[in-house]
Homo-oligomer: A and B are copies of this chain.
Amino acid sequence: MAVRMELTRIVDCDLNDHHWIHLSETHGERTFPIVIGRAEAQIINRRLLEEIPFRPMTHQLLWNIAEALGGTFEDVVITDLREHTYYAVVRIRCGDQLHAIDCRPSDGVAIAAHARPMLPIYVEESVLQAVVGS
């Protein structure tokens, strides 16, 4: 079962080059951080601050390509945690097909942050239990 989450915090710490996002249960109390890259932290942050870049950044390009090919991003699901690495898929609807494409959670959240409202983010219950318990 996948649990609906909200992006509740972005920590973009230039000082020690540590960056992470916090996901928190929409209808619950559980929350956990995911370490992400500097570039992704900045992209997500800028997007949430409604900073529109002068030229299309990579995740905007990703949206534009998917739309041109008839795809609509539906949601992002963090599906697994193995050896301290999170696995995710971004799901794209195209006609009557739903494609689940393997991605890093940071790319998934950056894609989600491009939508208004933000795309839904889910985490599998098994992953939540592994990181914060039930």
Contacts and interface: CB of A to CB of B under 8 A. Distances in A.
Contacts of A65: 62, 65-66, 71, 90, 92, 99, 101
Contacts of A49: none
A132 interface: no
Interface residues of A, number: 27
A56 B7 CA distance: 22
Contact of A94 (B54, B57, B69, B99): B69
Interface stretch (A12-20, A21-29, A102-110, A114-122): A102-110
Contact of A61 (B56, B70, B103): B103
Most buried by B among A57, A65, A70, A90: A65
B101 A68 contact: yes
Interface in A31-77: 39, 54-59, 61-62, 64-66, 68-71
Given A57-B104, A65-B90, 9 more contacts: A54-B85, A55-B87, A56-B103, A56-B104, A58-B62, A68-B101, A69-B70, A69-B99, A70-B94
Give the top 9 A-B pairs by smallest Cβ distance, nearest first.
Answer: A69-B69, A39-B39, A68-B99, A69-B71, A55-B104, A61-B103, A58-B58, A64-B101, A69-B94
